Structure 1
């Protein structure tokens, strides 16, 4: 494994990247096109960077396939986010950004998050309660997304999105302050 200073630094960078990945929400809030382009690209790069930095921890013999799948899933998700930002440059295509996020990227996020938390659980590099919370929160988000897919939108279901956001914020802060086990 790596020395503790490098490992600590890597954990902090991953925490910052998790926070950066959420910057794509700024366009939904502000509708500022320039800001949307920049934050979508930053978010996409952050999403791709996280699994790359985690490879030394995740890529064990027993996790090889899960790690590869996780890397592929997050790379596609990140590229979709970057595409969402690039689309904002062309006024006639701007409406497709919402379609990318709502109808495609969300599924890569869910599947990638599930793999991420399973790998975190298996490697024990963070406390297990964070991994379990992440798995449960991801499954809750999946349920909400499936209901929306079938046109069922109930306010109480939308609240099931909150646990994954809180989990990822908690995890990011944990990694920045505490690092890996």
Structure 2
């Protein structure tokens, strides 16, 4: 029985590590430069494939964002059920916001295509609509989605810290990185910072922690002396 539980924990660790890396990769490929440029209304329709590819990879992010907390739940719930359930809830919320972000991205593409048809006749209308859609997409992607997933990360890193399923230096790094990323999203939400160097620097700690955690889980797995113990 103990061997079966240990083997299950090892598989869970490996799959979680793979999903963490997949989340980072799909996140990078979901970036759509033409939407972020000043002439996005002109460029989006002429670079339709780039926009659609970005939407595709953004949808793939759901597998990681929702899958990681669900995959971790059976193990983490043994140690702290309410926090493990909270991480699953935040992961699902992040998945919903990802879908919303994709919808807004596709609406931006449609607006660009319509703008290409009418030319400058309704330029002011399309510019206003485009800016509203783009601002909404930024808030969904960089505030709502990020906050939901990072809160899920914060919760299971806290469980890691309490249980030493992974080394404490790694879970502490995750807690600090999660807090830094939450701060970045909140500062962006109140327009204190933009999608600039400061925003990126505040998000770098959690990105690298996810990468290191993924590698650790794939190579080493969870601490075998802790994964079968239960704390109240």
Answer yes or no: same fold by TM over 0.5.
yes
Task: Report the aligned-residue RMSD.
Answer: 2.3
Which residue of 1 is the match for residue 74 of structure 2? 56
Report how far residue 133 of structure 1 moved: 0.5
Match of 2:161 among 121, 128, 131: 121
Report how far residue 16 of structure 1 moved: 0.8
Instruction: Write the distance in 1 (CA, Å) between the matches of 2:180 and 2:164.
Output: 23
Match of 1:162 among 173, 186, 204: 204
Larger Rg: 2
Which residue of 2 is the match for residue 71 of structure 1? 88
Instruction: Write the distance in 1 (CA, Å) between the matches of 2:149 and 2:85.
Output: 15
Instruction: Write the distance in 2 (CA, Å) between the matches of 1:103 and 1:134.
Output: 19
Deviation per residue, 1:101-144 (Å, 9 max, x gap): 12311221232221121122223221111100000111112222
Equivalenced residue count is 180
Deviation per residue, 1:44-67 (Å, 9 max, x gap): 12211111111121112x612111
Give the TM-score taking structure 2 as reference length: 0.68
Which residue of 1 is the match for residue 14 of structure 2? 12
Instruction: Write the distance in 2 (CA, Å) between the matches of 1:10 and 1:83.
Output: 29
Asked whether the 8 Å contact 2:139–2:189 carries over to 1, the reply is: no
SS in 1 for 2:31: helix
Which residue of 2 is the match for residue 43 of structure 1? 61
Q: Verify: 1:34 aligned to 2:52, yes or no.
A: yes
Give the TM-score taking structure 1 as reference length: 0.86
Q: How does 1:85-96 map to 2 (within 5 A)?
A: 85-90=102-107, 91-92=109-110, 95=134, 96=136
Report how far residue 74 of structure 1 moved: 0.8
Match of 2:170 among 113, 130, 148: 130
Asked whether the 8 Å contact 1:66–1:115 carries over to 2, the reply is: yes
Instruction: Write the distance in 1 (CA, Å) between the matches of 2:94 and 2:18.
Output: 18
Which residue of 1 is the match for residue 228 of structure 2? none
87 and 158 in structure 1: CA distance in 2 versus 1, 3 angstrom threshold = closer
Report how far residue 99 of structure 1 moved: 3.2
SS in 1 for 2:221: coil
SS in 2 for 1:3: helix
